Structure 1
Amino acid sequence: MYDTEVLKPSNTGKLIADLIPQTYAFLWSRTEVDHALLDLIKNEKYQPFIIFPSEYATEEQQVFHQSVVLNNKKQPLFILLDGSWREAKKMFRKSPYLQGIPILSIDPQQLLAKDYLPKYHIRTSAKGHQLATAEVAALVLAVIGEHNNAAILDSWFDYYNYQYQRSVCQSNKGDAEAEQRYKRLIAK
């Protein structure tokens, strides 16, 4: 997480930790690397992937588009950079320890529909592939075959999105049925 992202009530990264038990969160610093993060990335139990658009990949980075090849003996470790897009790009560029990690590039227009629009209305993005952190995490879960967990996270995100917009009295473009859909999914 970018250092200020954790303080923002509009942060969606926290929604992942609400539902996925093995979630780790680290504050990013340009000058200091959290050794627990490095240990996690280097742990032989995991196969790390950074979730980021392929256009930012370095020449030596392996890029997967919409799917990954997993080593059956290892658990996937998906690294999401949580912050605004300007912050996420800075985190990606200024973190040399991420440069050798394969990229999983998610394009919602290819995975969902050509006319897919991001559902996060609290902050706006410059490009259609720039989704909220929780939206991306739900797509990643779907890509690896965790469709039920993807649907639960997606509906939890919709519910949060709707309630947040209600709480700040802004024009609400969220899904008013999100709470009922979320409750139905977790009751299964």
Structure 2
Amino acid sequence: MGEPALLPPPHAVARLRAERLARSAKPFLARGGPKGERCPGCRLVPSHCICGLRPQVPARAGVCLLMADTEPLKPSNTGWLIADVVPGTFAFGWARTEVQPGLVALLADPQWQPYVVFPGEFVASERVVAEVAPDDTVPGKRPLFILLDATWPEARKMFRKSPYLDRFPVLSLAPEQVSRYQLRRSRRHDHFCTAEVAALCLELAGEPQAAQVLDAYLDVFTHHYLQSKHQLPPERDGPAHAQLRAALALALARG
């Protein structure tokens, strides 16, 4: 059975998913579970629910997800996990012809220093940065990482056709590890899922505990997802769960 827990309160991605479903002309049918049944709190089949494991840790940094049209509907989307863990997570649907007022207001909010996270090889060099500015450079401002949550072809289009992002620096990541994400295939080993990118950003922002919890939570989610896909029970005493417990304990001890 899944973790016995009440549904967590809806966060930014959950609200965006509800709005997207409300606009759908026909129901979105995700594969898996009896008749496609999935937990509304974690999008896994009920027998593999992880709502009772949802961690949240303090983080000064924020994350702004610009999501391609169907991303909020996909059970494998990992932007949802970022919103589970990082309290300052915002989510907006992307459209070529309009910008949501809430996004405009967020990007203009003086408490934030936005960074567009995108590979530097596709950007003019004068916009590219490899580090997050320390507080003494941008006093009083919190880093806000803008992540284009989409497939790689969609993300490139979103980057080109979002001129309101042109005034912000582009944070180009150069991670050494290979992506561990197993739920969707990429032709390139250096393509990371959205949650992995967010964890790398949190690390750069001096938030190692939040980064470690997010990485561990991604591993737990992946484990439950794949176990349900193969009709196997989750290993609740296995390495993924143990790593999440350890990361949470460390975050609480240092929080």
| Residues 38-84 of structure 1, C-alpha deviations (whole Å, 9 max, x = no match) | 1111111111101111012146x52112x221412211111011111
TM-score (structure 1 length as normaliser): 0.87
The CA distance in 2 between the partners of 1:80 and 1:6, in whole Å, is: 14
Please list, as runs of the form range in 1=range in 2, the aligned pairs for 1:1-188 lying within 5 A after superposition.
Answer: 1-58=67-124, 62-65=127-130, 67-70=131-134, 71-109=138-176, 116-169=177-230, 176-188=238-250
Q: Secondary structure at the match of 1:108?
A: coil
Gaps of 5+ in 1: 110-115, 171-175
Gaps of 5+ in 2: 1-66, 232-237, 251-255
| Residues 73-96 of structure 1, C-alpha deviations (whole Å, 9 max, x = no match) | 211111011111111111111111
Q: Are the equivalent residues in 1 in contact too, given 2:82–2:214 (CA < 8 A)?
A: yes
Q: Are the equivalent residues in 2 in contact too, given 1:117–1:128 (CA < 8 A)?
A: yes
Q: Secondary structure at the match of 1:107?
A: coil
The CA distance in 1 between the partners of 2:149 and 2:162, in whole Å, is: 14
- Per the alignment, residue 173 of structure 1 pairs with none
Displaced runs of 4 or more, over 6 A = none
Q: Are the equivalent residues in 2 in contact too, given 1:138–1:154 (CA < 8 A)?
A: yes
Q: How many residues align?
A: 175
Q: Are the equivalent residues in 2 in contact too, given 1:107–1:129 (CA < 8 A)?
A: no
Q: Which moved more, 1:97-106 or 1:6-15?
A: 97-106
Q: Secondary structure at the match of 2:121?
A: helix
Q: Secondary structure at the match of 1:156?
A: helix
Q: Are the equivalent residues in 1 in contact too, given 2:107–2:114 (CA < 8 A)?
A: yes
Percent of aligned pairs with the same amino acid: 45
Deviation of 1:128 (Å): 3.0
Which amino acid counterpart does residue 91 of structure 1 have in structure 2? M
